[in-house]
Amino acid sequence: MIFDPYALSFVMLFLLATLGVALLVCKGPAQRQMLLPALLGFSLFNGFAVATVDAPGFMLVGYFLFIPVLIAGFRLGAIFCYPVGVAIATNAAPTLARLAEGRAAKRVISIYFILTFVTLIVPTFKVHLLLSPPSPDLRALFDAQFTVSRGAASAIIAILTALLTPMYYLALYRYRKKTFTLFLLIFLPLYMEYVRDAYIGRYMVFFALIYIFVMTWTFKARWRVALLVGTAAALPLLVSLAHSYTFLRLGAVVGESSVIDSILETFEAELMLPIRIGVPLIDSRENANLLGYFTWLFTMPIPGFIKDWLPVTITYLNHDISEVVLGVPRGARQFYIVLPGLIAESMFLYGKVFFVLHPLMIGTIIGGFAAITQNIPRSNALRYFLSILFFFNLNRGGIASVMPMLINGFLLFALIIYFAIHRAGRLRATHRTLDNASR
């Protein structure tokens, strides 16, 4: 990873300038907590790559155009969805308060744990492995995605778990000042998932650690110095362990790299994805099936076993990208998912001319969620979940890594809010009728 000093200087200066613009665009801390992490994540996972000597000119231009368009999209989404946030805060605040701090929060957490635990029983009994966890095996898990069909019970549990996830993070607000309890509530489900699949993604562990850091930083102000010192001390070890896990999950022998070499190799592997994967993708001159992509977006809430019967072509973006880059069909032994970065993903979707439509849509989505959550009391825990989703998952894994959660995951959440608003409206109408009758 050799940097072009001029390109790196321009990238850094441009990032600082756009962060200043973003601060002006955001209305309140809640919006800043959404937009700034998204911009920093984009610069981390794309900015370093486009500032290297290996980056073609169109990638650098793409970087400079992507951020302003994303900010513009954010502002549009925030303006459009602000009335929705006000309506939710006005009419559904008591319902959301119960989900965040009341007995309903405990019920949500309990149900979430039960659903996760049931996956150790159905379809295969694996509870005993909690005390003797298996070795990580990514290859077996990935092959099973194409060779083993998921049963109806497992599919239903997965759907219910996804539907509960936003409310689960909202309910974690109840334990915002109980760091050890929060740690258990975050990592025990991850551990059960690891036991079930004999694998857990490194990004899921880092996501959980970032979440605990942010929650502790926010609600345990007296711990901030210790938190910074502890993070600085632990981060090199964590990155080194993540590097070793890369080999262990594939059943390979872990090399004898030093901690510094492990850190450098890990950062280069993660931050150079736009060059190693994104550039070959664009050079292939292949493009996504846009009709299939939007069909995937708009049919996402429909269960897979129903979509299989629909006379439509659905584009699974990361699978299509991986087929183009690897040159092998999905399901083949040599097939795996590759991550090209958001710039290359944008150009694969819309071409080099109209690729800015992708950051416009992404910014609108982020702005919409920011405007909706900014007026909701006690939504910090949920908002931090979304912030990390936009910082980490979106910028590393692309749009396909976040849309299932943003669409499917929030369906039940949206229904609860809708009925709360509807009930509040009916109560107001009843009170007006009674007031008029009493006059």
What pLDDT is recorded for position 306? Answer: 75
DSSP state of 3: B
Would you say the C-alpha torsion 23, 24, 28, 31 has a positive or negative sign? negative
Question: Hunting for tokens 């990873």 — which residue is that?
Answer: 1
Quick one: which of 335, 303, 334 has its CA closest to 404? 303
The dihedrals phi and psi of 157, each to the nearest 5 degrees, come to -65, -40
Alpha helices (H) along 5-137? 5-25, 29-42, 48-50, 57-91, 93-101, 103-118
The span from the CA of 268 to the CA of 54, in Å, is: 13
Which pLDDT score, from 0 to 100, does residue 71 have?
Answer: 97
| Axis crossing angle, helix 29-42 with helix 380-388, rounded to the nearest 10 | 20
DSSP code, position 174: G
242/254 Cα distance (integer angstroms): 11
- What is residue 369's DSSP assignment? H
Q: What share of the chain is helix, strand, coil (3-state, %, to 5)?
A: 75, 0, 20
Nearest CA to 49 out of 358, 360, 339 is that of 339
Q: Which of 58, 11, 41 is nearest to 396 (CA)?
A: 41
* Whole-angstrom distance, CA of residue 371 vs CA of residue 373: 6
* Rg (the chain; Cα; Å): 23
Domain spans of the chain?
5-438
The pTM of the full predicted model, rounded to 2 decimals, is: 0.94
- pLDDT for the residue numbered 377: 80
SS3 track for 220-250: CHHHHHHHHHHHHHHHHHHHHHHHHHHHHCC
Quote the CA–CA distance of 322 and 145 in Å, as a whole number. Answer: 15
pLDDT at position 138 is: 65
CA distances from 287 to 51, 150, 328, 356 (A): 25, 30, 16, 15
3-state secondary structure of 52: strand
User: Cα(265)–Cα(239) distance, rounded to whole angstroms?
Assistant: 10
**What phi and psi values does residue 430 have, to the nearest 5 degrees?**
-65, -40
Distance CA 222, CA 121 (A): 42
Residue 307, pLDDT score: 74
Cis status, amide bond into 123, omega within 30 of 0: yes
Question: Angle between the 317-326 and 342-354 helix axes, to the nearest 10 degrees?
Answer: 90
Q: Give the pLDDT of residue 252.
A: 59
Q: What is the pLDDT of residue 362?
A: 98
DSSP 8-class letter at 379? -
Please name the amino acid found at residue 104: A
**H-type helices in 278-402, by residue range?**
279-283, 290-298, 304-307, 317-326, 342-354, 357-374, 380-388, 394-397
> Encoding tokens for residue 265?
């190799």
For residue 230, what pLDDT is reported?
94
List the pLDDT tens digit at each of the 439 positions of the chain. Answer: 789 999 999 999 999 999 999 999 999 999 999 999 999 999 999 999 999 999 999 999 999 999 999 999 999 999 999 999 999 988 998 899 999 998 999 999 999 999 999 999 988 899 999 999 988 876 666 665 655 566 778 888 999 999 999 999 999 999 999 999 999 999 999 999 999 988 888 899 999 999 999 999 999 999 999 999 999 999 988 988 888 887 776 665 566 677 788 888 888 989 999 999 999 999 999 999 999 999 999 999 887 767 777 777 888 999 999 999 999 998 888 888 999 999 999 999 999 999 999 999 999 999 999 999 998 888 999 999 999 999 999 999 999 999 999 999 999 999 999 999 989 888 888 877 777 776 6
Q: Are 197 and 141 in contact (CB under 8 A)?
A: yes
The Cα–Cα gap between 257 and 242 comes to 13
Structure tokens at 253: 């022998």
